[in-house]
């Protein structure tokens, strides 16, 4: 089973597209050395980013040019 659940993740954002963009941006910042905000056993940056989104630690702002 995939953790965190896609149902939990989609409830934190307005669309699956926003989820993918937010997770990718956060994973890049983790790779660049940003501190991890949510506890997980995984060492993969995308999985860590998804756990942070599920925990409500990551928010995003929709603008006309994209997500910040």
Residue 35 DSSP label? P
Residue 65 makes CB contacts below 8 A (sequence gap 6+) with none
Q: What angle do CA 57, 8, 46 make, to 5 degrees?
A: 60
Give pLDDT, residue 24.
95
Residue 48 makes CB contacts below 8 A (sequence gap 6+) with 27, 30, 36, 38, 40, 42
Query: pLDDT by residue (tens digit) across 44-55?
Result: 999 999 999 999
What pairs with residue 67 in β-bridges?
Answer: 62
Q: What is the pTM of this model?
A: 0.85
């Amino acid at each position: 089973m995939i953790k965190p659940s896609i149902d939990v993740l989609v409830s934190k954002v307005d669309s699956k597209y926003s989820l993918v963009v937010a997770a990718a941006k956060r994973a890049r910042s983790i790779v660049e050395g940003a501190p991890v905000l949510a506890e997980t056993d995984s060492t993969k940056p995308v999985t860590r980013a998804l756990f942070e989104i599920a925990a409500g630690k990551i928010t995003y702002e929709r603008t006309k040019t994209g997500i910040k």
